[in-house]
């Protein structure tokens, strides 16, 4: 298990290095906090979109979105802590609590956008069903 965890940490470090190199080659050059916001936000939304249908299928009740959101948020917290610990262990970045906060903020912002779009979709469907 120890070998697997070290392997996983070093793979995350490789991904981190690749994202930094990609950022350095792009015009905008996002700050470290902006990268955490964007990357963790995108990963969080991908996790949510994968987890939600499974939970919905299993629960068949009215609280499936809350379960999906809580589970995804839990994974994002664990993932962001893991990334920061991995940066400390591999010396590929600085372990910073603010990165965790910005990463979780990215997921929360992405989820807020999702909720607005889902609400708009629900309203549009309701309007067209009446006609």
Rounded mean pLDDT, 104-126: 96
The answer to whether 9 and 86 have CB atoms below 8 angstroms apart is: yes
For residue 42 the two structure tokens come to 């995108």
Q: Is the dihedral of CA 56, 83, 21, 6 positive or negative?
A: negative
**CA distances in angstroms from 59 to 45, 48, 53, 56, 71, listed in the order given:** 20, 16, 10, 5, 14
pLDDT value at position 18?
92
For 5-59, how does the pLDDT look when each residue is reduced to its tens digit (9 = 90+)? Answer: 788 889 989 998 999 888 888 877 888 899 999 999 999 999 999 988 888 888 8
What pTM, to 2 d.p., does this model score? 0.67
Residues contacting 131, CB < 8 A, separation 6+: none
> Using 50, 70 and 90 to split pLDDT, how confident is the model at 78?
very high
């Amino acid at each position: 298990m120890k070998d697997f965890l070290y392997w996983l940490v070093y793979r995350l470090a490789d991904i981190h290095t690749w994202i930094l190199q990609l950022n350095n080659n792009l015009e905008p050059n996002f700050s470290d906090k902006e990268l955490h916001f964007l990357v963790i936000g995108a990963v969080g939304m991908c996790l949510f979109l994968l987890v939600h249908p499974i939970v919905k299928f299993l629960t068949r009740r009215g609280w499936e979105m809350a379960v999906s959101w809580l589970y995804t948020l839990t994974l994002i917290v664990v993932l962001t802590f893991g990334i920061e610990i991995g940066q400390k262990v591999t010396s590929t970045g600085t372990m910073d609590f603010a990165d965790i906060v910005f990463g979780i903020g990215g997921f929360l912002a992405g989820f807020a956008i999702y909720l607005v779009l889902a609400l708009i979709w629900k309203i549009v469907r309701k309007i067209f069903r009446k006609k």
